[in-house]
Amino acid sequence: MVRRGALGKGLAHQGRRTAMTWTYLVGREDLGRTRLRAEPDPDPAALGAGEALFAIERFSLTANNITYGAFGDRMGYWRFFPSGEEGWGIIPVWGFATVTASRAPGIEVGARFYGYWPMASHHVGRLEPRGRGAVDGSPHRADLAAAYNRYEPAEPRADDDLAALLRPLFLTSFLIDDLLADAHPEATIIVSSASSRTALGLGWLVSRRGGRAIGLTSPRHLARVGSPGLFARAIAYESVDDLPTDGPAVFVDLAGDPRLRRRVHEKLGANLQASIVVGTTHLGADPGERAPLPGPKPTFFFAPERFAKRLGDWGAAGVQQKTGEALSHFIADSGWLRIVTHRGPEGLAAAYARVLAGAGTPDEGDIVVP
């Protein structure tokens, strides 16, 4: 049974004091098209059997969420929280929420969870206890990636904002590094969009295991990307010709820019062992290529597949232990990161526009408190 944390009751009351109940909708074909939809105030009496009402407390907003929207149809991200409106979607976010009413067996009022939520002030879900956490048993999510349906009990902590910001991205970083350490242990790892949270976590992990990671980024981010303990070296996009060609390399592409990908492939030539597409910060870019590329064919990295493999190899407890320990060390090393808090739907709208435009900096992390 999942029980209420020490501060759960206060958080539940805080959720009920939200000025309005709302959902933030995004155009499925145009991520710059947004709309705030006012909702009826949650009615606990209207919950069906097995349902629980959650007040969403805080969530992070990063380029990773833009990737969810950009690949919403292709990878099924729009299906987690159906909007019920043609042409509109709800982008999933990672953060914390508290149960304010429940008809779900084993899910008590006041229980607080970390997991995958809609961009909204409230959510009605069908959480079912599983191990020390819970899973969402909604029929429309049954065939979606299990990693996104898992919810962990979360006592309030002083580093919750950093956890909300870094944890989902760091898991992807961890899984990419896990794959690279297995398949290409001697390779230099070249990472595009190196100022993104996923890339910074990957650079830190590669460095921590004694490997070499080189970050490709814009000139304004060179200093942060090249900081000790993150990447061994930072190179501006226009200076791709400076990439070293002294041994095997793997390109991890988080930018999704086909022109950059081609330049990297052409520069590294026969030394390039693999080209892995993780996400996109260039919304006009296609992860595929119309013209053949020299070297290995780019392949898309889908984190839940690697997660499922390690779940089978290590078990849930093993995965949690390995990722949790690494994340704790990364958070401890993230004193350079400043949290920017945005409150209410107006704050969310401003933060979303900023992240969509790529106007953020690696030194700042956006947290939304509905």
- Among the ranges 31-35, 254-258, 334-338, which has the highest mean pLDDT value? 31-35
Given a cut of 90, is residue 135 above it in pLDDT?
yes
Given a cut of 80, is residue 38 above it in pLDDT?
yes
Q: What is the pLDDT of residue 279?
A: 63
Domains of the chain are 8-156 (3.90.180.10), 169-304 (3.40.50.720)
What is the band of 290 on the pLDDT scale with cuts at 50, 70, 90?
low
What is the band of 103 on the pLDDT scale with cuts at 50, 70, 90?
very high
Q: What is the pLDDT of residue 229?
A: 84
3-state secondary structure (DSSP) of residue 42: coil
Q: Could you tell me where the DSSP H helices lie in the chain?
A: 8-16, 63-70, 72-75, 160-183, 197-208, 222-225, 258-268, 303-332, 344-356
Given a cut of 90, is residue 164 above it in pLDDT?
yes
Average pLDDT over residues 292-304: 90
Task: Tell me the residue type at 201.
Answer: G
Given a cut of 50, is residue 51 above it in pLDDT?
yes
Contact 24, 346 (CB under 8 A): no
Q: What is the pLDDT of residue 12?
A: 30
Given a cut of 90, is residue 168 above it in pLDDT?
no
Q: What is the mean pLDDT of the chain?
A: 89
Average pLDDT over residues 139-150: 90
As a whole number of Å, the CA-based R_g of the chain is: 21
What is the band of 98 on the pLDDT scale with cuts at 50, 70, 90?
very high
Burial of residue 365 (number of CB atoms within 10 Å: 0-12, 13-18, 19+) = buried
In this structure, what token pair is assigned to residue 237?
């996009």
Q: What is the pLDDT of residue 256?
A: 85
What tens digit of pLDDT does each residue of 147-157 get?
Answer: 899 999 999 99
What is the band of 14 on the pLDDT scale with cuts at 50, 70, 90?
very low
Given a cut of 90, is residue 16 above it in pLDDT?
no
307-342: burial string, b at 16+ Cβ within 10 Å, e else = beebbeeeeeeebbeebeebbeebbeebeebeebeb
Please state whether the predicted TM-score (pTM) of the whole model is above 0.85. Answer: no
Contact 225, 362 (CB under 8 A): yes
Q: What is the pLDDT of residue 1?
A: 44
What is the band of 303 on the pLDDT scale with cuts at 50, 70, 90?
confident
SS3 content of the chain, % helix, strand, coil (to 5): 40, 25, 35
What is the band of 223 on the pLDDT scale with cuts at 50, 70, 90?
confident
3-state secondary structure (DSSP) of residue 192: coil
Q: What contacts 149, CB < 8 A, 6 or more positions away?
A: 116, 135, 136, 141
